[in-house]
Amino acid sequence: MTIVESVVVAMLGLLAEPGRCESLTALTLPNTTMTSVRWVAEGPYTPPPVPVGRAAPDQTAAPPILPAHCRVTAVMKPSSDSHIGMELWLPQDWNGKFQMVGNGGWAGIISYPAMVRALLEGYATASTDAGHRQEGPSALGGSATFAIGHREKLIDLAYRSVHETAVQAKAIIASYYRSAARLSYWNGCSTGGRQGLILAQKYPDDFDAILAGAPANSWSEMHAWDLASSVPPTIDPAQRVPATKLALVRDTVLEACDAKDGVKDGLLNEPRACTFDIATLQCSGGDSESCLTAPQVMAIRRLRAPARTASGQLVFVGLNPGTETGWALRLNGQPLSVAVGSFQVAHDDANWDPRTFDLDRDLKIVNEKVGSLLNATNPDLSRFKARGGKLLLFHGWSDPLIPAGNTINYYDSVLAKMGQDQADWLRLFMVPGMGHCQGGEGPSQVNWMAALERWRESGRAPDRIDAARVAANRLEMTRPLCPYPQVADYIGVGSTNDAGSFVCKVKD
């Protein structure tokens, strides 16, 4: 930020006060009703009440101290069946920028934790519930029943809610600070990654830079693969695999493939190079905890394999070696509810039985009814590139929910469409050992937004991003993350837990 910009931002901060906050109630916006506008003094963050049946968040750590800010809640109704909730937090000490944060699963909630992080960095920050509210207990990803028979609500979820929130939030920001945000950022993972990509494809002027992690952008195909790979254990109990055996598979895979990247560290830098044959773990006699039965081998092979139609057409990629301990939800006899939801909507039937799933028949239906709206697979990002946008993609190699190969395939499709040299605005980072969006046994603590800011604001492209693994408040490892297809290569001297002992390079 230049000196002039710093002075301007400081002056704008003087305008951000309780009186100006309350004055927003008089602001009139298209299809938008302010439901609450209030000043929040500096103090400990108090999370909203947890709906009945939902698990309460971990409250063992001290709550963050939030800066003073104006908190705006609103409802947008761009269609007769729309009810899109949004929140916007406007800090008194504003950095002059806007950051909107994404959702997960079928959305239905305001992403408060991500808003907290953005506010602490001085951003004006917004989130939307994507047009509905998830209430009561739900399995992973939430319920899709809100969209059955409600195409407008499905459109809201697909793209309209994030676009409308961005537009109205920017208008409120301009009114409140008497100046528009000088830059707008998107920050999302999983469904939030899908939202980021559909914004780049459909509304390229909404954001100056987009962070899209583990994007669920091939929504309908991914859910078809989910059911193709996980429904059989629902029908055949012999194919269910207990968690202890999944740990056995993961440990055996690491033993066979870990050192292939030159460092034995419990991580697979390039899992696709691991060709370990799971059949070597098949029991030669009776079933035991130290081997797999033939049906269990079959179930694991199906999760690793891509789904294909009867004619051989690729539907979606399979899971990588090294992700096995995250497969319990898939092999316990119950298909993922988030995937079942797509087919409930496609068949207009909340009681649709996943045991009736047929890949060729149901893929066509779900692509037409759901994928035509939610999929964000268009590789032509020329309009986003032309307006100076930056797109930073990332995915954990050990993601057990969304196979990492999907993001690589989308990245490759953009290069195939737009040309191989797109590194001035598009980069992909693969993270060894990281699970879904975060966590895992690898170096998963990464300041993605800082890298994106430096790229967009200072022209410093992320040639490498150092990441860390911290356990029990102890730094255990640092490791560089490299722009794909480069990987972190050990130089042969120094600690393998030190990022300085690695260089980024393309390996043969």
What DSSP line would sit under 342-408, residue for residue? HHHHHTT-TT--GGG--HHHHHHHHIIIIIHHH-------HHHHHTT-EEEEEEETT-SSS-THHHH
CB 165 within 8 A of CB 84: yes
Q: Domain tally for the chain?
A: 2
Both structure tokens of 156: 């809201």
Catalytic residue among 69, 132, 163, 436: 436
Instruction: Please tell me the distance from the alpha carbon of residue 111 to that of residue 38, in angstroms, as a whole number.
Output: 19
150 is a catalytic site residue: no
Could you confirm whether 143 is annotated as catalytic?
no
In a domain, 176, yes or no: yes
How many other C-beta atoms lie within 10 A of the C-beta of residue 68?
Answer: 18
Residue 195 lies in a domain: yes
Asked if residues 391 and 426 have their Cβ atoms less than 8 Å apart, the reply is: yes
For residue 115, what are the CA distances in angstroms to 45, 127, 184, 186? Answer: 11, 7, 14, 12
345 and 313 both lie in a single domain: yes
On whether both 105 and 151 belong to a single domain, the answer is yes
Task: Establish if 54 belongs to a structural domain.
Answer: no
pLDDT at 9: 47
432 is a domain residue? yes
**Residue 86 bridge partners (DSSP):** 74, 128
Q: Do residues 309 and 446 share a domain? A: no
Closest CA to 21 of 179, 182, 177, 183: 177
Tokens of 490: 């050990």
The span from the first CA to the last CA of the chain, in angstroms, equals 41
Q: State whether 438 and 392 are in the same domain.
A: yes
**Do 357 and 414 share a domain, yes or no?**
no
Q: How many residues does this entry show for the chain?
A: 508
Q: What is the pLDDT of residue 473?
A: 86
461, burial (CB in 10 Å: exposed 0-12, middle 13-18, buried 19+)? middle
Query: Among 127, 190, 230, 398, which one carries the catalytic annotation?
Result: 190
**Nearest partner of 105 among 139, 78, 72, 75, judged by Cα:** 139
| 293 located within any domain | yes
- Residues 68 and 213 grouped into a single domain: yes
For residue 46, what pLDDT is reported?
87
Question: Which CATH number do you get for residue 155?
Answer: 3.40.50.1820
Please say which residue of 346, 374, 402 terminates a domain. Answer: 374
In a domain, 80, yes or no: yes
Residues 282 and 343 in one domain: yes
348/386 same-domain check:
no
Burial class (CB in 10 A: 0-12, 13-18, 19+), 112: middle
Q: Are residues 335 and 413 in the same domain?
A: no
Please list the pLDDT of the chain residue by residue as tens digits (508 residues): 555 455 444 444 445 677 789 999 999 999 999 999 999 999 999 888 765 555 556 666 788 999 999 999 999 999 999 999 999 999 999 999 999 999 999 999 999 999 999 999 999 999 999 999 987 555 567 899 999 999 999 999 999 999 999 999 999 999 999 999 999 999 999 999 999 999 999 999 999 999 999 999 999 999 999 999 988 888 899 999 999 999 999 999 999 999 988 899 999 999 999 999 999 999 998 899 999 999 999 999 999 999 999 999 999 999 999 999 999 988 988 889 999 999 999 999 999 999 999 999 999 999 999 999 999 999 999 999 999 999 999 999 999 999 999 999 999 999 999 999 999 999 999 999 999 999 999 999 999 999 999 999 999 999 999 999 998 889 999 999 999 999 999 999 999 999 999 999 998 7
Q: Is 436 an active-site residue?
A: yes
Residue 495 located in a structural domain: no
End-of-domain residue from the set 330, 348, 374: 374
Cα–Cα dist 324/400, whole Å = 7
Query: Tell me, what's the pLDDT at 13?
Result: 46
Helix ranges restricted to H, 151-261: 151-155, 161-177, 191-202, 219-230, 232-235, 243-257
Rounded CA separation 502/330 (Å) = 36
Same domain, 208 and 329: no
In 76-190, which ranges are continuous DSSP H helix? Answer: 112-120, 151-155, 161-177
Domain end call among 374, 408, 431: 374
Residues 31 and 131 grouped into a single domain: yes
Residue-number span of the structural domain to which 192 is assigned: 3-47+62-221+375-464
Q: Cis omega before residue 400 (within 30°)?
A: no
Phi first, then psi, for residue 374 (nearest 5°) are: -90, -25
For the chain, the C-alpha Rg in angstroms (whole number) is 23
pLDDT at site 10: 47
Using the Cα atoms of residue 43, residue 47, residue 49 and residue 55 in order, give the sign of their dihedral. Answer: negative
Q: What are phi and psi of 72, to 5 degrees?
A: -115, 130
